[in-house]
Amino acid sequence: MDSTDNMLHRLKELNEIGIALSQQRNINSLLETILIAAKRITNADAGTLYLHDTEQRVLRFEILRNDKLKTVMGGTSGVAITFPPIRLYDESGNPNHNNVASHSALSSETVNIPDAYTAQGFDFSGTKKFDGATGYRSKSFLTVPMLDHEDQVIGVLQLINAQDRENDTIVPFSGDDQQLLESLASQAAIALSNRRLIAQLEELFESFVQMINTAIDDKSPYTSGHCTRVPVLTMMLAEAVNQTSSGPLKDFALTDRDRRELKLAGLLHDCGKITTPVHVVDKATKLETIFDRIHLVDAKFEVLKRDAEIEMLTKRLKTRDGGQNGAEGETIRAEYEARIRQLDDDREFLRHCNIGGEAMSDESQQRLRQIATYQWRDAGGKMGNFLSENEAENLAIRAGTLTAAEREIINHHIDVTIKMLDSLPWPAQLKNVTEYAGGHHERMDGKGYPRGLTREQMPVQARMMGIADIFEALTAKDRPYKKGKTLTESLTILGKFKLGGHIDPDLFDVFISEKVYLEYAKQFLSPEQIDDVDLSKIPGVNLSS
């Protein structure tokens, strides 16, 4: 091959390398690609890629390759580079121009040395020491700075021992080698700067998302950690499905982009709660608003007890002996004591109602209505029902602590979430974040909210998030109205949800068979919650799968 054809071939190779660099997304792989490409187009035996640490003002070894010594260090090799970094300045702040790599970084100049052992102006004592220890002979050096779009040095490429393409003898790096490597270094610097910028923007965005979640969780001590745990559990289930090789979900596969998209959706699934009023989120009891109004009800009972005492004393005064003796006085006192016992019992009943729970019986509802109609005289002297309409409505809540109106306020967070996420200019690789995050309250039978989607209308990722959100809520230890449930209790409810068309049955099967619940429990549940689960007693479990 004549020199013209050889140069054309190398230029074509350089162009292909540039395309490859633009497609590389992992920084370690990118750095490795840069050095390997540099060695290939110059036919160098060895090379090192340094990165500029601007804070420490040093050049750090990132990738090192030596074909003759069969040395592969840094990058994706997993072998750490133990050489100390090259200082750009001494302790007095003077620039280090003795080392060829630091000189290239400081001066932004290429240094082409035919033979290190005869070169003047640079200290190659470290190189000679290395050669003496390994039997290697470092001769020709080509050192090129990597400058970004602002002409700032971000790294240095250093190649050692150019090899003649005919007989592999060590020769100086040619002018063509230098020109090609400078061109490659320029492309590499741009590719590296772009990848770093993208990584920094991704990190900034994730930090912003974490900041939103921190603000949401900090609004209420009772939901702290929810926005963190749900994405973790979602990803656990996603990875379990990704590893499934049989069944309806065997074709599901996750790429790194898919993982990032799903993780972001999980982190943002409740971002709309930033608008939810704190007094609704924090409602630990049925009568709680800014404070628990059960204490006002307690005060009313004291008024009723006082009225009962006054009535008893008044009746006794009207008897012939002032109620001191006789059957009439005993009857009055017995009626009074019975009334006090009834009021104390009613007060304890309302306190129990106020706590909330899984379900309130019809009998309890009826008793509550009777107590609500007790008559009492308020501070203004007006007679009226013992419980106000609002107090009666709240205490009559059948499950939990929220009224229908308050439940609507809570549910509205998903509408706000979708609205907030829809307003963002998502790039193509994150286009499904809104759909995944906005679907975690939908049901397989179409009875969920906010859009009433059915299973067929939902992506599998949204269905994963639905299971994660429910299981996290069941096992959470920080809810105001309940204790965290055990694994058996939680899986029993989840199994009923499967049978009732609430959650995806195939995902539930993977959740059980791959023991995703147990992996999550070991990280986030208290020891007393992790009981021995008898899967044969869990509804919806298919033990044959």
**Range of lowest pLDDT (117-131, 250-264, 347-361, 452-466):** 347-361
Q: Is 465 helix (H, G, I), strand (E, B) or coil?
A: helix
Q: Supply the pTM of this predicted model.
A: 0.67
Is 42 within the bounds of a domain? yes
20 & 131 share domain: yes
355 & 454 share domain: no
Q: Is 46 helix (H, G, I), strand (E, B) or coil?
A: strand
| pLDDT value at residue 22 | 59
Q: What's the average model confidence in pLDDT over 431-444?
A: 94
Dist CA 4 CA 165 (whole Å): 15
Q: What's the average model confidence in pLDDT over 314-333?
A: 75
Residue percentage of the chain with pLDDT more than 90? 55
**What is the average pLDDT value for the chain, to the nearest integer?**
88
Is 86 within the bounds of a domain? yes
| pLDDT value at residue 324 | 59
* Structural domain of 443: 220-280+405-537
Q: Identify which of 154-158, 280-284, 304-308, 464-468 has the greatest average pLDDT.
A: 464-468
| pLDDT value at residue 274 | 83
CATH (domain of 101)? 3.30.450.40
**Which of 366, 401, 436 represents a domain boundary (last residue)?**
401
60 & 157 share domain: yes
pLDDT surpasses 90 at 233: yes
**Which of 401, 424, 452 represents a domain boundary (last residue)?**
401
Q: Of 148, 150, 145, which is closest to residue 190 (Cα–Cα)?
A: 148
- Binned at pLDDT 50, 70 and 90, residue 187 comes out as confident
Is 523 within the bounds of a domain? yes
70 & 93 share domain: yes
Torsion over CA of 25, 31, 34 and 37, rounded to 10 degrees? -100
Total structural domains in the chain? 3
- Binned at pLDDT 50, 70 and 90, residue 144 comes out as very high
21 & 135 share domain: yes
Tell me the DSSP string of 471-492: HHHHH-S--TT-PPPPHHHHHH
- Binned at pLDDT 50, 70 and 90, residue 11 comes out as low
Is 459 within the bounds of a domain? yes
Q: Of 405, 391, 406, which is closest to residue 480 (Cα–Cα)?
A: 406
Is 82 within the bounds of a domain? yes
473 & 499 share domain: yes
For Cα atoms 134, 139, 140, give the angle at the middle one, nearest 5 degrees: 135
Question: Which residues touch 188 (CB under 8 Å, ≥6 apart)?
Answer: 21, 34, 37, 38, 146, 157
Q: Is 413 helix (H, G, I), strand (E, B) or coil?
A: helix
114 & 182 share domain: yes
55 & 191 share domain: yes
- Binned at pLDDT 50, 70 and 90, residue 479 comes out as low
395 & 410 share domain: no
